[in-house]
C-alpha cells in the first residue's frame, strides 16, 4: 500500500515514501535476480495506455507486469483508440476501469494525468503527461543516485539542457527539493531554463537554484543530469535547430569530473558516445532499474505489498 491511490506527480514522493519504496525496489531486484518471476500479481490486469512515443517506459512497465505474472492490455497511440472519433479522456478511463485493475498512461497533454486519476476508480500511474511530470522516472533517477552516491541530500546537481520542457527534470528536481541542502544549477540556453513557477516552487521547498549558460563540470558537482532538447515540444523550431548540438557532454569537457552522469534517455545529441565508457556514466544502468522500480510501484498500488 501507498498513502495515495494514484501517482501523478513527484510532489507526492516524500523522503519517507522514497525510503520505503527503495526497500521494495531492492526486493523486486532480488526476485528478478534469483527467480526471474513471481506470481504476486497473477490475478491482476495492467492497462498500458501510451498516447505518446515511448520505449523504456512502456517496455519496462510491460516487463515489470510480466515478471509479476500480471496480464497486460495495450492502447498504443491515439490513432488506434476512439480518441480519433472524439471520445473524451474521462470516458476512456471509465471504460478501461472495466477492463483492468490499474492504469498506466502516457499522454501529450500536461495535466491529463490529474484528470484521468480523478475519474479513475482503479489506481492510476502517470507515465508522462506532456512537458509536465514523469514521476516514475524520478523514482528511477533518485534510486540510481542513492545506489551510486549513498544519499539524496546535500547534493550539488547540474540539470541540462532543456529544463523548461523536460518532464524528467521537473519531476526529479521536485523530488530532490524535498531533501535538505540540495543545490541545483540549471544550464543550457537561457530560453530553456526552468519556468519562474518551477524555480519559485523549488526555492520555497528549500533548494538553492541557479541558472547559467555554461558550467565547468569539474566544479565539485555530485550529479550531472542531462536530457535531450525536447524537440516535439518546441513551438519555435528555429530555437531547437539553433541549440541542438550546442550543448553536449564530451570526453573533453567531462574529463576530470567525477559526478554521476545521468540521462533518462533517449540520447540524441546531449552526450557523445565516447563518454559511455567512463565509470561515472551510469545512464544505461539507470534505465535497467526501470523494471524493479515499476514492479514495486505496481505491487504497492495494487495493495499486494506494504511500505
Ligand atoms: C523521457 C520522457 O519520455 O520524458 N524518456 C523516458 O521516459 N525515459 C525523456 C525524453 O523523452 O527525453
| Domain contains 200 | yes
- For the record, the C-alpha cell of 58 comes out as 512502456
Atom of ligand 1 nearest to the CA of 268: 12
Assess if residue 306 is contained within a domain: no
Antiparallel, parallel or unpaired: β 102-107 and 45-50: parallel
Query: What are the start-end ranges of the H helices in the chain?
Result: 15-34, 56-67, 89-97, 112-119, 135-149, 167-176, 196-204, 237-243, 251-254, 283-288, 290-301
CA–CA dist 245, 100 (Å, integer): 43
Is there a single domain that holds both residue 277 and residue 293?
no
Q: In what order do the strands lie in the sheet with 102-107?
A: 71-75, 45-50, 102-107, 124-129
36 and 72 belong to one structural domain: yes
Between the CA of 2 and the centroid of ligand 1 the distance, in Å, is: 25
Same domain, 17 and 129: yes
Residue 131 Cα to ligand 1 middle (Å): 10
Length of the chain in terms of residues written = 307
CATH number assigned to the domain comprising residue 110: 3.40.50.1370
User: Is any ligand 1 atom within 6 A of the Cβ of residue 126?
Assistant: no
Q: Is residue 257 part of a domain?
A: yes
Ligand 1 center–CA 295 separation, angstroms: 19
Number of structural domains the chain divides into: 2
243/296 same-domain check: no
Q: Are 66 and 145 within one domain?
A: no
Structural domain boundaries, residue 295: 10-133+288-301
* Cell numbers describing residue 293: 522500480
For residue 86, the model assigns a pLDDT of 80
Burial of residue 207, with CB atoms counted within 10 A of its CB: 0-12 exposed, 13-18 middle, 19 or more buried: buried
Closest to 223 measured CA to CA, from 169, 178, 273, 267: 169
Residue 264 CA: which ligand 1 atom is closest?
8
Query: Angle CA(278)–CA(208)–CA(228) in degrees, nearest 5?
Result: 40
Ligand 1 binding pocket includes 227 (Cβ within 6 Å): yes
**Domain annotation covers residue 307:** no
Question: Residue 118 domain-assigned?
Answer: yes
Verify that 251 and 294 share a domain, yes or no: no
User: Do 205 and 161 share a structural domain?
Assistant: yes
The residues carrying an active-site annotation are 56-57, 85, 106, 134
What is the rounded distance in angstroms from the CA atom of residue 273 to the CA atom of residue 290?
Answer: 22
Q: Is 132 in the pocket of ligand 1 (CB under 6 A)?
A: no
Bridge partners (DSSP) of residue 224 are: 158, 261
Give the distance (Å) from ligand 1 centre to CA of residue 306: 28
Name the helix (H) or strand (E) containing 210: strand 208-212
Does residue 264 line the site of ligand 1, with CB under 6 A?
yes
Residues 98 and 148 reside in one and the same domain: no
User: Is residue 3, in this structure, part of any structural domain at all?
Assistant: no
Are residues 129 and 248 both part of a single domain? no
Contact call for residues 127 and 105 (beta carbons, < 8 A): yes
Answer whether residue 262 is part of any domain. yes
Ligand 1 mutation target, pool 107, 137, 143, 170, most atoms within 8 A of CB: 137
**141 and 114 both lie in a single domain:** no
How far apart (Å, rounded) are the C-alpha atoms in residues 154 and 144? 16
Please check whether residues 238 and 146 belong to one and the same domain.
yes
Whether residue 48 is contained in a domain is answered as yes
Tell me the CA–centroid distance for residue 43 and ligand 1, in Å.
30
The pLDDT tens digits along the chain (307 residues) read 899 999 999 999 999 999 999 999 999 999 999 999 999 999 999 999 999 989 999 999 999 999 999 999 999 876 667 676 788 999 999 999 999 999 999 999 999 999 999 999 999 999 999 999 999 999 999 999 999 999 999 999 999 999 999 999 999 999 999 999 999 999 999 999 999 999 999 999 999 999 999 999 999 999 999 999 999 999 999 999 999 999 999 999 999 999 999 999 999 999 999 999 999 999 999 999 999 999 999 999 999 999 8
Cβ 134 under 6 angstroms from ligand 1: yes
Residues 123 and 262 in one domain: no
Amino acid at each position: 500500500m501507498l498513502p495515495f491511490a494514484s501517482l501523478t506527480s513527484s510532489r507526492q514522493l516524500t523522503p519517507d515514501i522514497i525510503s520505503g519504496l527503495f526497500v521494495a525496489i531492492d526486493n523486486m531486484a532480488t526476485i528478478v535476480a534469483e527467480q526471474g518471476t513471481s506470481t504476486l500479481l497473477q490475478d491482476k490486469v495492467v492497462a498500458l495506455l501510451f498516447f505518446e512515443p515511448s520505449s523504456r517506459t512502456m517496455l519496462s512497465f510491460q516487463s515489470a507486469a510480466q515478471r509479476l505474472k500480471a496480464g497486460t492490455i495495450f492502447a498504443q497511440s491515439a490513432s488506434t483508440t476512439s480518441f480519433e472519433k472524439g471520445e473524451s479522456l474521462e470516458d476512456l478511463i471509465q471504460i478501461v476501469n472495466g477492463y483492468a485493475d490499474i492504469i498506466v498512461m502516457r499522454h501529450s497533454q500536461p495535466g491529463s494525468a490529474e484528470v484521468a486519476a480523478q475519474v479513475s476508480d482503479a489506481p492510476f500511474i502517470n507515465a508522462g503527461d506532456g512537458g509536465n511530470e514523469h514521476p516514475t522516472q524520478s523514482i528511477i533517477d533518485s534510486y540510481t543516485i542513492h545506489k551510486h552516491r549513498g544519499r539524496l541530500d546535500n547534493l550539488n546537481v547540474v540539470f541540462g539542457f532543456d529544463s523548461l520542457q523536460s518532464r524528467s527534470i521537473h519531476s526529479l528536481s521536485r523530488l530532490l527539493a524535498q531533501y535538505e541542502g540540495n543545490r541545483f544549477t540549471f544550464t543550457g540556453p537561457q530560453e530553456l531554463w526552468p519556468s519562474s513557477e518551477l524555480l519559485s516552487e523549488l526555492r520555497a521547498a528549500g533548494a538553492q537554484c541557479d541558472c547559467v549558460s555554461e558550467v565547468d563540470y569539474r566544479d565539485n558537482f555530485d550529479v550531472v543530469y542531462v536530457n535531450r532538447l525536447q524537440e516535439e515540444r518546441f513551438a519555435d523550431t528555429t530555437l531547437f535547430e539553433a541549440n541542438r548540438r550546442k550543448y553536449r557532454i564530451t570526453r573533453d569537457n567531462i574529463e576530470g569530473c567525477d559526478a554521476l552522469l545521468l540521462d533518462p534517455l533517449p540520447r540524441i545529441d546531449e552526450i557523445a558516445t565516447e563518454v559511455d565508457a567512463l565509470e561515472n556514466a551510469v545512464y544505461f544502468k539507470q534505465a535497467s532499474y526501470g523494471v524493479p522500480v515499476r514492479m514495486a510501484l505496481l505491487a504497492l498500488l495494487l495493495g499486494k505489498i506494504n511500505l
